[in-house]
Structure 1
Amino acid sequence: MFPLKDAEMGAFTFFASALPHDVCGSNGLPLTPNSIKILGRFQILKTITHPRLCQYVDISRGKHERLVVVAEHCEQSLEDLLRERKPVSYPKVLCIAFEVLQGLQYMNKHGIVHRALSPHNILLDRKGHVKLAKFGLYHMTAYGDDVDFPIGYPSYLAPEVIAQGIFKTSDHVPSEKPLPSGPKSDVWSLGIILFELCVGRKLFQSLDISERLKFLLTLDCVDDTIIVLAEEHGCLDIIKELPENVTHLLKKCLTFHPSKRPTPDELMQDKVFSEVSPLYTPFTKPASLFSSSLRCADLTLPEDISQLCEDINSDYLAERSIEEVYYLWCLAGGDLEKELVNKEIIRSKPPICTLPNFLFEDGESFGQGRDRSSLLDDTTVTLSLCQLRNRLKDVGGEAFYPLLEDDQSNLPHSNSNNELSAAATLPLIIRERDTEYQLNRIILFDRLLKAYPYKKNQIWKEARVDIPPLMRGLTWAALLGVEGAIHAKYDAIDKDTPIPTDRQIEVDIPRCHQYDELLSSPEGHAKFRRVLKAWVVSHPDLVYWQGLDSLCAPFLYLNFNNEALAYACMSAFIPKYLYNFFLKDNSHVIQEYLTVFSQMIAFHDPELSNHLNEIGFIPDLYAIPWFLTMFTHVFPLHKIFHLWDTLLLGNSSFPFCIGVAILQQLRDRLLANGFNECILLFSDLPEIDIERCVRESINLFCWTPKSATYRQHAQPPKSASDSSGVRSSTPYFSTECPDPPKTDLSRESIPLNDLKSEVSPRISAEDLIDLCELTVTGHFKTPTKKTKSSKPKLLVVDIRNSEDFIHVASFPLKGHVVEAMNISGIPLNSDS
């Protein structure tokens, strides 16, 4: 998104049409509320960025199908020019027309039609340039089908739109939908607006709505629409004095038959703009992260480096993107509904005044007054940034431009750096709500991600502290090592041809995290379907298992408008943490995984392990959904985000530690219950403190020898460096390499049956040497103790008989570990 600059943020609200509660769709499920549908369609509008369009920022869903839309806003509009009741100069009219056409042309390229073009929706920034507002209302409401008000204004509707009439359809009443309006309808609206600017007055003010519509339809019978309009409004003299090129433009726009009317793109090529078009530089959308184009391709530096600082605004907040400013505004206490209430856009009505006069037993009511709140209130309320600016008044300018090469601190420098350092030690949930702290973290991660993959290791380093929610999607992609032309790869995958798994995917999606408004929308379902299908098609050696949809959900939620990145993240995540889990016959992989998990429970909590084994409550009964979906099937998304922020910093063994940490939170209840009670407990998993789970899983990971979690079916170790030449980062919980090279001292695989027969995990000789703090010296390369004063990390128990133990203890070269304990002479029984 573009920086906020001199613009402001505005909010407007409307109601989606309500659906009957007792009707189901064709799939037998309850109908999706229209507000959810609108919310899903709205998301694509956030990606449409152009200097002539007001940037959409967010949409919020409230009670009773209310929706609040936040977008870029400017106080001045063409409506203000018309209030002066003076004709606008002809050169300015041409410039306004060209800038409006620039916005319309860009919208049309993305399949968007305005349909609500009017003087008060054509805003003017402080430099006098055009910005089109509310251009997405027609798209997000399914061409007006999901609301109870028409899209557009009677005076500016094209004749073909009026002739079509208002037509509403619904999911539960099958009917043929009319064709939606095309780009040419906006050209007619523009023609009426330009006519008004030329004559300095608004048209049709003396006519009521029905008469306006009838008059516009009768223009089919006239030869010259411009003359008829001028005569009707007493401005024929002004029209006759217009330059020929302006008259030519008006006639082009106000061509009655849409088949003969030009599109915005065609009109921009007309000779009428031959003198205007050279004044404007064609817009080029900036390259984004993971884009196939070179981000620095158009970078030019001035000869005098001091010129770079000339355009820097002292208002540093205005240099941040409008998305970031809105996010910080919310953290600083911004409340959309409160802003609308203060401006009396939202008005409360006493409940007793809403009661009907007559009510049938089946629920049908009569005698209620028409609720005009369901109609569109076109007022846009400006969101004040005073509270946010006041909150950030102590933040210095250097905080907005942190030095990435300075490794003195994880936090950027500012006047309140001590407070930031203190904030970094607070609980995560508090840090995520701290406005100043989040500002610094967002700016730092934004700069680091722009330097990816060069700053890959520093991204890992900063992610150890925390990941700002606003930057989580791109940060996860960086942690997973996503690179290359991901969009070209995703687009090349056939996602349309029917495949056998289509039916199962269709069944699973409506059950996957449907409490979330975004993922439950029809747009979310369609994106789910495409991403899952792309993964299945591009991995022919693997199959779709139930649970893959849950695994996809976090990536899709964070990258809702970037399916290619969601697919790339998912494709990088599965081989790292779920290698071969989605084979057609994955029983051997899952059985090995569950056996190692069972050994991990025994390693960290022997008492709990013995109890669960005694009652027969084995991991096969509860842990398969945990690991097959990496806990996305058992936790809501807001918990998964915090859990995966840590998971992605560990290696493929870290999920074992998360599983053990969950069991330890339930430890007392598990030890106190038998098999049946444990089954009931896990059928509806109790509330888990996810922050505690993360802390304990990190500790468990650090306490676990790396070879204890060795799996034969884990992902094979990668080469020392990846394709980009950047050294792969190591898990931050350990100083060990995530994929250590295999040596003679490494742990060897054993048959699955033998592995199941062992209660506790094995460790490798390599780990033994490391934990005993032994070092290799001398000609015979015999491990010896590094220091005698260090505290042992491991107690070695030698099970040989006492005679052999005494003999080897006297001759260390024959296989004796210093400080090992021999227990062969001690009788062992159940009481010892």
Structure 2
Amino acid sequence: MFPLKDADMGAFTFCASALPHDVCGSNGLPLTPNSIKILGRFQILKTITHPRLCQYVDISRGKHERLVVVAEHCERSLEDLLRERKPVSYTKVLCIAFEVLQGLQYLNKHGIVHRALSPHNILLDRKGHVKLAKFGLYHMTAHGDDVDFPIGYPSYLAPEVIAQGIFKTTDHVPSEKPLPSGPKSDVWSLGIILFELCVGRKLFQSLDISERLKFLLTLGCVDDTITVLSEEHGCLDIIKELPENVINILKKCLTFHPSKRPTPDELMKDQVFSEVSPLYTPFIKPASLFSSSLRCADLTLPEDIDDLCKEDTDSDHLAERSIEEVYYLWCLAGGDLEKELTNKEIIRSKPPICTLPNFLFEDGESFGQDRDRSSLLDDTTVTLSLCQLRNRLKDVGGEAFYPLLEDDQSNLPHSNSNNELSAAATLPLIIRERDTEYQLNRIVLFDRLLKAYPYKKNQIWKEARVDIPPLMRGLTWAALLGVEGAIHAKYDAIDKDTPIPTDRQIEVDIPRCHQYDELLSSPEGHAKFRRVLKAWVVSHPDLVYWQGLDSLCAPFLYLNFNNEALAYACMSAFIPKYLYNFFLKDNSHVIQEYLTVFSQMIAFHDPELSNHLNEIGFIPDLYAIPWFLTMFTHVFPLHKIFHLWDTLLLGNSSFPFCIGVAILQQLRDRLLANGFNECILLFSDLPEIDIERCVRESVNLFCWTPKSATYRQHAQPPKPTSESSAVRSSAPYFSVDCTDPPKTDLSRESITLNDLKSEVSPRISAEDLIDLCELTVTGHFKTPTKKTKSSKPKLLVVDIRNSEDFLRGHIAGSINIPFSAAFTAEGELNQGPYTTMLHNFKGKVIVIVGHVAKHTTEFAAHLVKMKYPRVCILDGGINKIKPTGLLTVPSPQI
């Protein structure tokens, strides 16, 4: 988007047609309200940026089908020139005509017709250049089908538009439906406006609307429209004095028959603009973040570089930000669209009694109700004041708008010199997202980092660990997922039109996917859903569509509603990372392994809860499949998914296990107090989950979990990467990388699914054990570091071999509890000197080491039964450690 610069933001409102409440569509579902249809079609208008067009910013839906549109606005328009009641110079007329045609030509390239051209919709910026306003009204209302008022103004409508009249889709069978207006209808409207500028006054002022329309239709009987209009309005002398090129423009624009009238593109190439066109440089839209074009190709520096270094105390830094950012901050600073329009009396509330069809008094006299004016269009645009926002940001220094990316410390909010900003960084996320100053700093920072992507990829990761500003979430997620390259060319090359067997299931699933959201429930949203999902299915022939894929698509589509290619690219990068092989035709082995590892994670972090759920038979197969198959998008609304995935994308493929355990722990008390049937009912309608707490606890669980404890045979094979560490917490001895390490001789070995299911506690690799014991590398292996007096052991290694084997060599710091004498017949731990040691380490990581796999599994299971958390087994037993040379032998006592 262009920077706000000297423009303003404006808002206008209208109401969509109301639909009957007792009518359903062909699918048996209630009809989609017209206001939601308009809201969906509006979104594409936000992507149309051109110097001759007012930038659309946002649309909001209120009560009674009311819509409020926010767009760039200028106070002056051609209406002001006509109020001066004097002809405009022919040079100015030529420039205005060419600039309007520039805007119309760009709209036509995007398949949009203005249809509402009038002097007050052709605005003038502070430099006197044209900006077309309300060009999207005809498009967003489905050519006027979804509103109760006509699109356009009678004096400026083309004859062919007048001839077809006002129509609704329901009024015509498909074969009789009139064609929508084309680009040539705007050329006629432009001709009338130019004619008015040439003569210095409006036409048809003495005629009512019906007479104006009749007069315009009679122009088809004459050869010279210009002469007839001039004679009718007594300005023939003025027209005769106009230069020939101006007359030619008027004649070409006011050609009665559309077949002979030029389009805006044809008219711009006409010789009549030979003197004007060289004054304008062609508009080149800047390259997008993900494209094959160079984003720096059109960058220019001022002739005098010293101008960049001069400090301008009067600089309006806010005006340099995009209008989208300014509007977002305006809303955070307390901006209220309906309040602004109500204050200007554009929106008027009525008592309910006044909305009845008529009044009936005791004497039988009744009074009819006039037509409700609220259903008609009041095209007044109210300028939104930025005073409140500027006052809120008055203490923000200019350096906040231009952060130094190379200075690592200056980018973090908690190191900012502003005390209030530093304090805001420690507040809950929901508060930070509503703090105007904090969001300004984060938006500016992320905007600059994303423009430097992928060069600044590591710094984007680092800042995302603090938080992600909602306005920048879509692009930031794409960066975190490593999306790169010409994504649009790849997406466009996919066949999304040829019917495939999956089409039917997609059609069934979409109307049930996050339909509480107005954007995704719109027909436009459904169409985008279909294309993105079908593109994924077609481009992954080895995978199949499973129910739940639509829910996975929803967050990406919502954040990239106007960029289907980016939504598809993000989804295509997300699924292999977190749901590798989940969408195979036969995915049972993948799902079963996943759920088994999840069961072990529950036992690892919360053995008491694990014991209870196993006793009542409430296994993850009964509730967790929708969690992981959709990465929780099926169970949480979008606003919670955004906060959850902000952190999920920073973790590796094991992070979802921690989210699942965190959810169970929030429901812990209710689960422990209930039996099987009550738990089933509890999960059939999942209670409210505190997502911020869930994220916080998930990170803590993630950092307490050894990397190899969540090893899965069917996970995505690890790839070499230079990505930096992702999520870390205050847990002192886990630094978890976002990627899985490559396999070595000390890594975990694959075991059968049956063996995995037989083990309650997870296995960890020898690599992890060495890391957890704080061993340092010497040669190819590691040796224990010298510990200071203040350092405390961070885990306990329990060696369950017999005493003789233990004395021949064991891991430094481990204790020996022989398996044969560890437990009583009742399953209780035998009392001994090691009992106190075990109790002291309860809550720390306890690693069971032995040389018989069955014994280590049973020993770990006994500890879990005794509610010892964080119990795990060394994969491969003591034999995995022997080749490293790290086993120690106690010195003989003298």
SS in 2 for 1:389: helix
The change in CA–CA distance for 1:782 and 1:210 in structure 2 (over 3 A counts) is closer
Any conservation in 1 of the 2:57–2:323 contact (CA below 8 Å)?
yes
1:356 and 1:365 in contact (8 A); partners too: no
1:157 to 1:784, Cα distance in 2 relative to 1, 3 A: closer
Contact 2:187–2:264, Cα closer than 8 Å, also in 1: yes
Q: Secondary structure of 2:111's partner?
A: coil
- 8 Å CA contact 2:713–2:750 kept in 1: the answer is yes
Question: CA, structure 1 residues 362+164, in 2 after alignment: closer, same or farther (shift >3 Å)?
Answer: farther
Displacement after TM superposition at 1:68 (Å): 0.2
How far off its partner does 1:301 sit?
3.0
Match in the other structure for 1:368? 369
State the Cα distance separating 1:170 from its structure 2 match: 3.9
Deviation sequence 1:40-60 (CA, Å, 0-9, x none): 000000000000000000000
Task: List per-residue Cα deviations over 1:183-237 (Å, max 9, x = no partner).
Answer: 0000000000000000011000111111100000000101110010011111111
Shifted more, 739-748 versus 155-164: the winner is 739-748
The CA distance in 2 between the partners of 1:297 and 1:365, in whole Å, is 72
CA displacement, residues 238-263 of structure 1 (integer Å, 9 cap, x when unaligned): 11111111111100000000000000
* 1:414 aligned partner: 415
Quickly say closer, same or farther: Cα 1:466–1:609, change in 2 above 3 A.
Answer: same
Once residues 553 and 297 of structure 2 are traced to their aligned partners in structure 1, the CA distance between those partners, rounded to angstroms, is: 34
Q: CA deviation at 1:140?
A: 0.2
CA RMSD in angstroms, aligned pairs only: 4.3
Q: Deviations over 1:299-343 (max 9, x none)?
A: 233453124469997000000000000000000000000000100
| Cα displacement (A) at 1:775 | 3.9
Structure 1 residues 779 and 421 mapped into 2: Cα distance closer, same or farther (>3 Å)? Answer: closer
CA 551–365 in structure 1, closer or farther in 2 if over 3 Å, else same? farther
Cα distance in 2, alignment partners of residues 797 and 648 from structure 1: 35
Describe the SS at the equivalent of 1:175. Answer: helix
Seen in structure 2, the aligned counterparts of structure 1 residues 356 and 311 have a Cα distance that, compared at 3 Å, is: same
Contact 1:24 1:172 (8 Å CA) reproduced: no
The answer as to whether partners of 2:727 and 2:737 remain within 8 angstroms in 1 is: no
Maintained 8 Å contact 2:703/2:734: yes
Q: Which moved more, 1:768-777 or 1:6-15?
A: 768-777
Q: From the superposition, tell whether residues 594 and 137 of structure 1 become closer, same or farther in structure 2 (CA, over 3 Å).
A: same
Seen in structure 2, the aligned counterparts of structure 1 residues 6 and 830 have a Cα distance that, compared at 3 Å, is farther
Distance 1:322 1:611, change over 3 A: same
Counterparts in 2 of 1:259 and 1:821: CA distance versus 1, 3 Å: same
Contact 1:11–1:383 (8 Å) recurs in 2:
yes
Deviations 1:614-634 (CA, angstroms, capped at 9, x unpaired): 000000000000000000000
Q: Structure 1 pair 703/725, CA: closer, same or farther in 2 (3 Å)?
A: closer
The answer on whether the counterparts of 1:396 and 1:414 sit within 8 Å (CA) in structure 2 is no
Q: CA deviation at 1:408?
A: 1.9
More moved, 299-308 vs 542-551: 299-308
Check the 8 A contact 1:23/1:172 in 2, yes or no. Answer: no
Q: Judge conservation of contact 2:462–2:726 (CA < 8 Å) in 1.
A: no
Instruction: State yes or no: 1:195 paired with 2:195.
Output: yes
Q: Distance in 1 between matches of 2:439 and 2:657?
A: 31
Contact 1:402–1:413 under 8 Å retained in 2: no
Write the deviation string for residues 41-90 of structure 1: whole angstroms up to 9, x where unpaired: 00000000000000000000000000000000000000000011100001
> What's the offset of the Cα at 1:801?
2.6
After superposition, the C-alpha distances for 1:92-124 in whole angstroms (9 at most, x for unaligned) are 000000000000000000000000000000000
Q: Which residue of 2 aligns with 1:668?
A: 669
Work out whether residues 704 and 734 of structure 2, in 8 Å CA contact, stay in contact via their aligned partners in 1: no
Distance 2:655 2:182 in 1: 54
Q: Distance in 2 between matches of 1:703 and 1:65?
A: 51
Give the Cα–Cα distance (whole angstroms) in 2 for the partners of residues 49 and 274 of structure 1.
Answer: 26
Give the C-alpha shift of residue 782 in structure 1: 6.5
Preserved contact between residue 663 and residue 694 of structure 2 (Cα < 8 Å) = yes
Shift of 1:815: 3.4
Do the aligned partners of 1:399 and 1:413 also contact (CA within 8 Å) in 2? no
Q: 1:25 to 1:669 in 2, by over 3 A?
A: same
Evaluate the alpha carbon distance shift between residue 361 and residue 632 of structure 1 in structure 2; reply closer, same or farther with a 3 A threshold: farther
State the 1:773 CA deviation: 2.2
Change (3 A) 1:423 1:274: same
Deviates more, 1:22-31 or 1:292-301: 292-301
**SS of aligned partner of 2:763:** coil
Counterpart of 1:105 in structure 2 is 105
- 2:799–2:806 CA contact under 8 A, matched in 1: yes
* 2-structure distance, mates of 1:681, 1:74: 56
Deviations 1:731-759 (A, max 9, x none): 99834462212111111110000000001
Q: Distance in 1 between matches of 2:171 and 2:598?
A: 48
1:421 Cα deviation from its structure 2 partner: 1.2
**CA spacing shift, 1:362–1:379, aligned 2, 3 Å:** farther
Q: 2:13 is paired with a residue of what secondary structure?
A: strand
CA apart distance, 1:822: 2.5
Aligned CA distance change for structure 1 residues 162 and 678 (closer, same or farther; 3 Å): same
**2:29, 2:643 → 1: CA distance?**
32
Q: For residue 422 of structure 1, report the CA deviation from its aligned partner.
A: 1.1
What's the offset of the Cα at 1:367? Answer: 4.7
How many equivalent pairs are there? Answer: 822
Deviation at 1:802, TM superposition (A): 3.5
Q: Distance in 2 between matches of 1:364 and 1:431?
A: 60
Q: Distance in 1 between matches of 2:245 and 2:727?
A: 59
User: Offset at 1:349?
Assistant: 1.1
TM-score, length of structure 2 as denominator length: 0.88
CA–CA separation in structure 1 for the residues paired with 2:399 and 2:783: 56
Structure 1 contact 394–416 (Cα < 8 Å) conserved: no
For residues 541-577 of structure 1, the C-alpha deviation after alignment (integer angstroms, 9 at most, x for no partner) is 0000000000000000000000000000000000000
Cα distance in structure 2, aligned partners of 1:578 and 1:140 = 38
Decide whether aligned partners of structure 1 residues 419 and 285 sit closer, same or farther in structure 2, where only a CA change above 3 A counts. same
Change (3 A) 1:777 1:132: closer
**Distance of 2:486 and 2:303 partners within structure 1:** 33
Deviation at 1:710, TM superposition (A): 0.5
Tell me if the contact between 2:560 and 2:566 (Cα under 8 Å) persists in the aligned partners: yes
Distance 1:730 1:533, change over 3 A: farther
Paired residue secondary structure (2:795): coil
Contact 2:78 2:123 in 1 (8 A): yes
Q: CA deviation at 1:723?
A: 16
1:797–1:821 CA contact under 8 A, matched in 2: yes
SS in 2 for 1:626: helix
Q: Could you tell me how far apart the structure 2 residues matched to 1:428 and 1:393 are?
A: 24
Is 1:624–2:625 an aligned residue pair? yes
Q: Quote the Cα distance in structure 2 between the aligned partners of 1:430 and 1:831.
A: 63
Asked if structure 2 preserves the Cα contact closer than 8 Å seen for 1:199 and 1:239, the reply is: yes
Residues 1:767 and 1:490: Cα distance change in structure 2 (over 3 Å): same
Deviation at 1:368, TM superposition (A): 3.9
Alpha-carbon distance, 1:819 to partner: 2.7
Query: CA deviation digits over 1:18-46, x for unaligned, max 9?
Result: 00011111121110000000000000000
Q: Does the C-alpha gap of structure 1 residues 303 and 211 become closer, same or farther in structure 2, counting only changes over 3 Å?
A: closer
Determine if contact 2:458/2:723 at 8 Å carries over to the other structure.
no
1:784 deviates by 7.3
Q: CA offset at residue 411 of structure 1?
A: 3.1
Contact 2:725/2:736 (8 A) holds in 1: no
What is the rounded CA distance, in whole Å, between the counterparts of 1:439 and 1:703 in structure 2?
Answer: 35
Q: After the TM superposition, which of the residue ranges 401-410 and 329-338 deviates more from structure 2? A: 401-410
Residue aligned with 2:764, SS? coil
Quote the Cα distance in structure 1 between the aligned partners of 2:729 and 2:693. Answer: 29
CA distance in 1, matches of 2:210, 2:893: 96
Contact 1:116 1:153 in 2 (8 A): yes
- How much has 1:793 moved relative to structure 2? 1.8
Residues 596 and 756 in structure 2, CA contact (< 8 A), matched pair in contact too? yes
Residues 575-615 of structure 1: CA deviation (Å, up to 9, x unaligned):
00000000000000000000000000000000000000000
SS state at 1:439 partner: helix
Structure 1 residue 178 displacement after superposition: 1.5
Worse-superposed segment, 728-737 or 363-372: 728-737
Map Cα deviations across residues 364-416 of structure 1 (whole Å, 9 max, x no partner): 99954321110000100000000000000011111110000001233379996
1:294 and 1:775, CA in 2 relative to 1: closer, same or farther beyond 3 A? closer
> Residues of 1 paired with 2:566 and 2:722: CA distance?
23
Equivalent residue number for residue 14 of structure 2: 14
Cα 1:560–1:142 shift into 2, 3 Å: same
Unaligned runs of 5+ in 2: 818-888
Q: For 1:208 and 1:492, locate their aligned partners in 2 and report how far apart those are by CA, in whole Å.
A: 54
Residue identity (%)? 94
Question: Which secondary structure state, in structure 1, belongs to the residue aligned with residue 477 of structure 2?
Answer: helix
Does structure 2 retain, via aligned residues, the 8 Å contact 1:730–1:737? no
